[in-house]
Amino acid sequence: MKMQLGEIASAVSAQNDTSAWNEIEVSSVAFDSRHLSNGALFVPLEGERDGHEFVQSALKNGAVATLWKADHGEAPADLPVLVVDDPLTALQSLSQHYLLKINPKVVAVTGSNGKTTTKDMVAAILSAQFNVTKTMDNFNNEIGVPVTILSMEPNTEVLVIEMGMDRPGQLDFLSRLVEPDVAIITMIGEAHIEFFGTRDKIADAKMEITHGLKADGTFIYDGDEPLLVERAKKVSQRQRTFGRQKNNDMYALNVDATDTQTTFTASEWPEQKMTVPMIGDYNVNNALAALSVAKLYRISPQASAKAFGNLNLTENRAEWVSGTAGERILSDVYNSNPTAVKEVMAAFSKVATTGKRRVVLGDMLELGEQSDGLHAGLATVFDPTLVQDVYLVGPHMKALYDALQDKFEVAHLHLYATDEQSQLITQLNADIQPEDIVLIKGSHGIHLENVLAALQANNN
C-alpha cells in the first residue's frame, strides 16, 4: 500500500480540512499502537479499550496520521488527523477503494473446517503463475479482511481472502465488500452452532459468501454435502464441486495417508500424484478445493503438485513439533469443533509409535445448548487400545470425561479446570516419555498454546 493522505481523506469522506497534510505518504494501516511500522495510518477502534487513548502512542511509534471519530470531541490540532463518523467504517471504505485501485482477482474462502488450510493451498498454487497476497494469521473478520486488502503490494494479481463467521450477515457484508471472482465453501460442520442452532442455519449463513460473487464468478463447494447442493441451486453463477463421490467435478482417487503426508490423485488429472505434507486424509478435500481453483486459472497439474510440496502453512494447524522429552507433539491449538476433533483423532490414532499416544483436548467453544452433548459425543472416537492417556481441559470437557469412564481406568483419565494449566503441565512432564506422541487440540479461547509452549520449553 502506498497512498497520499489526501487520497485517503477522499476515500474515507474525512470531515475536516486536510489540505495541509495531503501529500503525507502512508504505507500501511494499523489498529494496535504497539505494533505498527513507520508510515502507518493509525485506526483507533473501540473495544475493551478505546483506541483514541493510544493516538499519541501510535504517532510516537511511527504512525504518520490517524483517524478520529467525530463524536470524540476536539481532534488534536497539531497532528495529521482525518475526522470520520466511524473509524471501522472508514477502514472498510479505504480497503474497498484500494481494492478497486489494484483490481486483483479475488478468491474468497470460508467453511466450518479447513478454510485456513485451503486458503494456504490456493495461494500456493496460484503463486506458481501470479503475484498473490493472502490472509495472514486469523485476519478474517470485518477488521482483518480490510487490513489484508490494504497489505497488498501494488503488483498483486490475485488476492486470496479467508472469511470467518460467527453470526448471520457477517459473510454477506464481507462478500459484498470484496466482490469475489471465486467463492469457496470447504464444508459445513458444527462450528459456532451456539449462534445458529442447526447445521441448516449454518449452511444458510455460509452461503452468504456468494452474495457479492461477481456475475461471471465461480462458486466452488463440497458436493458431498446435501445442505450445500440444495442451496447451490439458487446460485446463478458457474459452479464446480469437489469431494469423494464420483458425481463431483473434482474427486479424489488413490488416497494414502501417513503421519506426515497424504498422497492422492485427482479425477481430472489422474496421472499426476499429489502429495500434501500434512497428517489426515481429511485434508484431501481442502486440496481438491484448491485444485478446482488451479483448473479454473489454468495452473498445470505439475505446477500444482510442486506447490503442494512447498506449502507455507499457517502455524498450529495439525503441525508436528518436538517436545522437551523428545516426544512428537501434534499441535492443533488454534481452534476446535466436533468435526475437526473427530478427524484429527482418527488420523492421530493411526500414527505408529513405540510409546504411548496421549491426547490433550480443551473445550470446544461456541456450541451453545448442545455443547455438553457434542463434547460427550467425542467418546466414540476414543479407543483405549490406541490412545492410552487422556487429559481434558475446561468445564464442557466434563461431559466427555464422564462418557469415557467406561473406557478408561481412572489413572489414565484426567480432568482440569481452565485455570489449572500449571497442574496439567506438571502432570504431562511427569508422564511423557521420549517415545510417546501427544495430540494437543482445543479452541483458541482455552489457550492450550501455553501448554504447548511449556512442553517445548527446552527446544526454543
Q: Known binding site for ATP: residues?
A: 111-117
3-state secondary structure at position 404: coil
Phi, psi torsion values for 324, nearest 5 degrees: -55, -40
What element of type H or E holds 97? Answer: helix 87-102
What element of type H or E holds 202? Answer: helix 199-206
d(CA 78, CA 76): 6
d(CA 454, CA 122): 33
| CA atoms in the 13 A half-sphere facing the CB of 97 | 16
3-state secondary structure at position 26: strand
d(CA 84, CA 204): 34
The residues facing 390 across adjacent strands are 359, 413
Contacts of residue 451, defined as CB under 8 A and 6 or more positions apart, other chains included, come to: 333, 360, 421, 424, 425, 428, 440
Cell (9 digits) for 375? 463434547
Q: What is the DSSP letter of 261?
A: -
Exposed / middle / buried, residue 3 (Cβ in 10 Å: 0-12, 13-18, 19+): buried
